[in-house]
Amino acid sequence: MLDLSAFVVLIRSYNEITRLPEVIDTIRRAGYDRIIVIDDGSTDGTREYLASRSDITTLRHPINRGAGAALETGFSYVRTGCDSADVRYVITFDADGQHDIADMAHFLDAIERYPEVGVFLGSRFLSRDASSNIPCIRRLVLIGGRWFTYAFSGVWLSDSHNGYRVLSIDSIKKIQLTMDGMEYASELVELLVRNDIAFLEVPVTIRYDAYSLAKWQRSGNALNIVFRMLYKKFFEW
């Protein structure tokens, strides 16, 4: 069993002061002491709260840039600041309370069983119990994202836009995210394929409540993601 000190937890946060303290404390109680928070230009008191936490490494964008940019800022720090033998994996975790640190048990089991895999992707669709509470509209959008990822990269994932992941340090060194918004999730899959990085889906549970549903991006934005990804694929790569 890997020592938990081999893991760094990356939390991207934008105006999540009502949930972020509880998320951080829950992670620490689970035994994960290496936590990096990327404050993506929050204006709600997040900056002041993080300044009071000497046990947390904080990276900050002066303006809100988006999920992909925040994650790449964290990856960049890990590539240069956590390049030591005892740090082997990075956990990407959301600040809104939707992820459950207890699901790391599934990731740890998968890491032990498949040491050759570089990236483990969380999926809310691998367990009937975990997928039963997904709101209908979100389920449809996620299914659409599944088909788009397949058409875009030739990879069939059950849950292509799940932010709960575990990536090896070696894998992070081989990729670089360039898309600032939520389209980064599709770009990440493309980069895994291009760099021949083995990946595997792992079951996780996503919590839905009034808070998380109210903050969910509009479904119509999915079309913008599609257009940006198509432009990236045919005109930039």
What is this structure's pTM? 0.84
Burial of 35 per CB tally in 10 Å (0-12, 13-18, 19+):
buried
pLDDT in tens, 19-38: 999 999 999 999 999 999 99
The enclosing H or E element of 161 equals none
Question: Would you say the C-alpha torsion 101, 90, 182, 180 has a positive or negative sign?
Answer: positive
pLDDT at 220: 43
DSSP three-state, residue 199: strand
pLDDT in tens, 101-148: 999 999 999 999 999 999 999 998 887 665 456 666 666 666 666 666
Whether the pLDDT of residue 222 is over 80: the answer is no
Closest CA to 173 of 109, 119, 232: 119
Inter-CA distances, 29 with 33, 39, 40, 101, 183, Å: 9, 22, 25, 10, 32
Token pair recorded at residue 17: 């002061």
Stretch 158-174: mean pLDDT? 93
Domains in the chain, number: 1
> What gap in Å lies between CA 208 and CA 199, rounded to an integer?
26
The enclosing H or E element of 32 equals none
Q: How many CA atoms lie within 13 A of 96 on its CB side?
A: 17
The range of the structural domain enclosing residue 51 comes to 4-236
Number of other residues whose CB lies within 10 A of the CB of residue 206: 22
* CATH number, domain containing residue 106: 3.90.550.10
> What gap in Å lies between CA 4 and CA 6, rounded to an integer?
5
